[in-house]
A = this chain, B = another copy of it.
Amino acid sequence: MDERTVFFLSDQTGVTAETLGHSLIAQFSGRNFRQITLPFIDTEDKAKTAVQTINSAGEASALRPIVFSTLVQENFRSILKEANGLHLDIFDVFLEPLAKELKEQPSFEPGRAHGVSDIDAYMRRIEATNFALANDDGGISRDYDMADVILVGVSRTGKTPTCLYLALQYGVYAANYPLTDEDFESGKLPDFLVQQKDKLYGLSIAPDRLRQIRKERRPLGKYSSAQQVRFELRECKKLFRRYGIPHVDTTEFSIEEIASRILDSTGVERRVRP
């Protein structure tokens, strides 16, 4: 089958067009899409070059391209529309009803949705990222008083990427602590965690999946053995029960899903919205 090319066009980063487009094409699962992002289309020349790129892709295939775009400025938008493709543009569709509802004209300035316009928000994300790094893996700082949430779980359940995602995306202060044999032998959490019990959130995972992930890191040895993995997960669940720690099974979940479930279930406030 001919491959369909999908373009994501933007006068800024292209993040919105990509996110929107992925949600939609995910509904058509049997297909291969060739995906191309063309960001920062903020001059007439760049708009014209984009038209050529789209048309060339269309000519090279029996199928015309699909174009997701989020350009604010009408003049660039109308140039791009000359390209041969199916155009899906959120500003085309949603800006007018929104302006009517708000009784205000849009600024038509290239979107600062992912910009640094709000310095405070930018700094909060950076500081949250530094916090996550300093408090990763039970690590260096243990500034648990400052944490919004502290993720606990055995090695390789997704604690680190989830903390970093919470920091980068939402400015949330997320620490994490890996549960190890030492904790399982005592059957207790360390005191400094018990003191923060209300901030704890557990990550669990299916044994087979955990083995698969651990084997990528260390194919041999105890770390990825069936016995060790089952032992750790069983003991980990005991600790979650003992201390009444809410938790989520990450087996089927992406980083975004784990993060969203944590925010949804704990009620931790997003400090920033990207």
Residues of A within 8 A of B (CB): 4, 12-16, 18-20, 22-31, 35, 37, 39-40, 66, 70, 72, 86, 88, 90-91, 93-95, 97-99, 101-102, 104, 106-109, 111-116, 122-123, 125-127, 129-130, 133, 136, 158, 160-161, 164-165, 168, 213, 216, 252-257, 259-261, 263-264, 270, 273-274
Q: How far is the CA of A99 from the CA of B31 in the complex (A)?
A: 12
In the bound complex, do residue A255 and residue B125 qualify as a contact, i.e. CB atoms below 8 Å apart? yes
**Contact A161 B111, beta carbon cutoff 8 Å:** no
In the complex, A136 Cα to B160 Cα: how many Å? 15
Residue pair A39, B90 in contact (C-beta under 8 Å): no
A113 touches B161 (CB 8 A): no
Q: How many copies does the complex hold?
A: 2
B264, A39: Cβ atoms closer than 8 Å: yes
Measured in the bound complex, the distance between the Cα atoms of B27 and A91 in whole Å is 10
Q: How far is the CB of A260 from chain B (nearest CB, A)?
A: 4
Nearest CB of chain B from residue A230's CB, rounded to whole Å: 21
* Closest residue on chain B to residue A112 by CB atoms: B26
**Which residue of chain B lies nearest to A209 when distances are taken between CB atoms in the complex?**
B119
Which of A91, A93, A257, A261 counts the most B-chain CB atoms under 10 A from its CB? A257
Question: Closest approach, in angstroms, between the C-beta of A4 and any C-beta of chain B?
Answer: 7
Report B-chain residues with C-beta under 8 Å of the C-beta of A129: 160-161, 164
User: Are the C-beta atoms of B23 and A260 separated by less than 8 Å?
Assistant: no
Once A86-B101, A164-B164 are accepted as A-B contacts, the answer to whether A115 and B257 lie under 8 Å apart by CB is: yes
The distance in angstroms between the C-alpha atoms of A22 and B18, with both chains bound, is 14
| Nearest-Cβ distance from residue A39 to partner chain B, whole angstroms | 5
Contact of A18 among B14, B104, B273 (CB under 8 A): B273
Q: Which residues of B contact A18 (CB under 8 A)?
A: 273-274
| Given A123-B213, A261-B40: A111 in contact with B168 (beta carbons within 8 A) | no
- Enumerate chain B residues within 8 angstroms of A90, measured Cβ to Cβ: 20, 23-24, 90
